[in-house]
Structure 1
Amino acid sequence: MEAGIVGLPNVGKSTLFNALTSSQAAQSENYPFCTIEPNEGIVNVPDERLGRITKYIVPQKTIPAALKLVDIAGIVKGASDGEGLGNKFLSHIRQVDAIVQVVRCFEDADVIHVSGNVDPLADIDTIETELVLADLQTLENSLAKAQRTARSGDKEAKIRVTAIEKCNAHLESEQPLRTLNLTEPEAKSIHSFGLMTAKPILYVANVDENDLEGKDPLVDKVRQHAETSGANVVCVSAKLEAELAELDEADREEMLADVGLEAPALSTIAQAAYKTLGLQSYFTAGEKEVRAWTIPVGATAPQAAGVIHSDFEKGFIRCEVYTLEDLETHGSEKEIRQAGKLRVEGKDYVMHDGDICHFLHKI
């Protein structure tokens, strides 16, 4: 699963990406289009449960869940009409599963804001408007073909026409598609369009390093907007994160303590992006490795097994499951089994976040 980091030029987007991925993505303070091709990085999703598991099951290695981040070039007003290579940049957004929008929530005379003043809601509106216009173009281009096919009696095309018309009406009311409820067949019929306003979104408020809790009124505006649209907000100082990323572990811990943080923002952002994508983790635990596996919320046991190997899903027999609380109470898998706490689940079992599993399957 991928999350695309977007934002207007000079909001700290690439600075934050570099800090999160410890990469050297092209960046500059006052040149809006320094990022032309999207930079990509894989980040671990911090999960304190892994450490708790390894207290009782000591592995040769521990593998956390991972998330792919894509740093997409700064978007400007008119991007949907090709401004600033907009069409190329918008095509990158179509390919990701969720959007992480960085909005600037601090004043700095040394860093020019592309619109001349700092207004995070205006930034959000600019990008949302461009994505809405781009989605309207996509739908308009697809409607005529869907209507012609529907007139021949094609049932799927009729569903697609209905979905497109619903989406058009919603977008024309200046509402993103993530707030529109479509039936499952309708959503499936237009899934290949890659509609950008249908993607879940996470707002990252880039705050001053002296306002890490986000008490600035600008951040409150972002929170209020997010609340009305069902999104989450994370506060982070991209400048501070960039400084932390350059330190060794000991110096990093000291600096975190000095500013009153327990961990770098990676933890908060990765976990929030994970949640925004509708993902959760289950674990496998043994002497070779303790590992977190990524699955969508609502995945069944066979689907979870398929994340390890497709043959596990095809040949699924049953799943043996216990919880971290069971492990901490009884101290070992053997004791869990003897206490009758090891559950045996079948093909219809819906996985819970944090399940610790063994899958039995046909070879």
Structure 2
Amino acid sequence: MGFKMGIVGLPNVGKSTLFNALTRTAAAQAANFPFCTIDPNVGDVAVPDARLDKLAEIAQSKQKIAARMTFVDIAGLVKGASKGEGLGNQFLANIRETDAIAHVLRCFEDGDVTHVEGRVNPVEDAEVIETELMIADMESIEKRLQGLQRKVRGGDKEAVQQERLLKDALAVLEDGRPARTVDVAEDDLRAWELLQLLTAKPILYVCNVDEGSAAEGNDHSAAVAAMAEAQGAAHVVISAQIEEEIAQLPEDDAGIFLEEMGLAEAGLDRLIRAGYALLSLETYFTVGPKEARAWTIPVGTSAPKAAGVIHGDFEKGFIRAETIAYDDFVTLGGEQPAKEAGKMRAEGKGYTVKDGDVMHFLFNT
């Protein structure tokens, strides 16, 4: 599994330029006018992970298979989108299908690029989008509460739980706060997720800066950083223009270009790492002569559940997992040396997989 991140923002903030760079395609038309993106563009990209390269090198694997991450470029929202302004509700529906939201904010000055509100203020832009999503959530909740009444009166347990959670969400929304600020009990988490409220999704603010500000950011991105910290949200600083240029270069040239720009790594790497942290995801590996492969799992996943990511039969018939920590695998030079050094562990059903574990599952068919 990977995860799906929706790229949202006002028109002309650099969403499609960023999407093109991230997916190394020109599928999303980047143009200097609102609503050039009419249908959501979906891009499936490999998650860069230097550990996979190292493991494949040590094991002399014939093939490397990275974990995958899906980006969805969603057309620009405008003030009034919840009422059908601009391209309206169809894009609100597209956001519901994502696991998290990357909110691209314009943090650059450029007289040649129109701003839909006629000014550059990323914090106000963020508030415009958040307000539209909150209004859409409130309208959705009110309709759903009405639809639940008959089942609630009949004592349906699921309906009673849904009503309670929807009322909790409505209370914070009416107080001007997003649904993700609701304190949800562990027993309610699954039902909460099924509500698919727009403002319940984790949010990552992406500060799109000019090339000269890519390394250190600027006053606009600093304001976004302060806003994100106050909200307990995440943020990254990226120059979509630089990322687009990098995407068109061979790997060696891209590294030189990044160094010249004073950047340690590409924006894609930082964006994905921030996305993984946002959704509490981590990676384990399977390694052999045929292939080295990365698998994405939620933090805290048990060994049987991790095995199930590969195939459901692995989880059902799970016996044990032969596990080597990444550092031990690399330091000792592979599976056999690690085994001889006593660093291969036999872990049972109660084992919680750690980020970077190299695993081999034994199971009954």
TM-score by length of 1: 0.96
Counterpart of 1:25 in structure 2 is: 27
Counterpart of 1:296 in structure 2 is: 298
Q: Pairwise mapping of residues 60-99 of structure 1 onto structure 2 (< 5 A)?
A: 60-99=62-101
* Distance change (3 Å), C-alpha of 1:331 and 1:245: closer
SS of alignment partner, residue 30 of structure 1: coil
Q: Return the alpha-carbon distance in structure 2 between the equivalents of residues 303 and 209 of structure 1.
A: 43
CA contact (8 A) 1:160 1:186 kept: no
Structure 2 residue corresponding to 1:255, chosen from 246, 254, 257 = 257
Q: Return the alpha-carbon distance in structure 2 between the equivalents of residues 157 and 274 of structure 1.
A: 32
* Distance change (3 Å), C-alpha of 1:190 and 1:262: closer
Q: For 1:101-135, what per-residue CA distance to the aligned partner results, in whole angstroms no more than 9, with x for missing partners?
A: 11011100000111000000011001100111111
% of aligned pairs identical?
A: 50
Letter in 2 for 1:101: H
Q: Return the alpha-carbon distance in structure 2 between the equivalents of residues 266 and 9 of structure 1.
A: 21
Q: Return the alpha-carbon distance in structure 1 between the equivalents of residues 140 and 147 of structure 2.
A: 12
Letter in 2 for 1:21: T
CA contact (8 A) 2:18 2:244 kept: yes
Counterpart of 1:141 in structure 2 is: 143
**Which shows bigger deviation, 111-120 or 331-340?**
331-340
Q: Return the alpha-carbon distance in structure 1 between the equivalents of residues 325 and 175 of structure 2.
A: 46
Letter in 2 for 1:31: F
Letter in 2 for 1:167: A
Does 1:128 pair with 2:127? no
**Which shows bigger deviation, 148-157 or 198-207?**
148-157
Q: Return the alpha-carbon distance in structure 1 between the equivalents of residues 279 and 27 of structure 2.
A: 24
Could you tell me how far 1:49 is from its partner in structure 2?
Answer: 1.2
SS of alignment partner, residue 355 of structure 2: coil
Unaligned runs of 5+ in 1: none
Counterpart of 2:46 in structure 1 is: 44
Q: Pairwise mapping of residues 130-279 of structure 1 onto structure 2 (< 5 A)?
A: 130-279=132-281
Could you tell me how far 1:217 is from its partner in structure 2?
Answer: 1.4
Q: For 1:170-229, what per-residue CA distance to the aligned partner results, in whole angstroms no more than 9, with x for missing partners?
A: 111111111211123434334333111111111110011001134311111111111122
CA contact (8 A) 2:19 2:28 kept: no
**Which shows bigger deviation, 5-14 or 18-27?**
18-27
Q: Return the alpha-carbon distance in structure 2 between the equivalents of residues 252 and 213 of structure 1.
A: 16
**Which shows bigger deviation, 344-353 or 102-111?**
344-353
Could you tell me how far 1:250 is from its partner in structure 2?
Answer: 4.0
Q: Return the alpha-carbon distance in structure 1 between the equivalents of residues 220 and 322 of structure 2.
A: 49
CA contact (8 A) 2:172 2:179 kept: yes
Q: Return the alpha-carbon distance in structure 2 between the equivalents of residues 56 and 250 of structure 1.
A: 22
* Alignment root-mean-square deviation, CA: 1.5
CA contact (8 A) 2:322 2:346 kept: yes
CA contact (8 A) 2:81 2:132 kept: yes
Counterpart of 2:316 in structure 1 is: 314
Counterpart of 1:347 in structure 2 is: 349
Q: Return the alpha-carbon distance in structure 2 between the equivalents of residues 298 and 249 of structure 1.
A: 34
Unaligned runs of 5+ in 2: none
User: What is the number of residues matched between the two proteins?
Assistant: 363
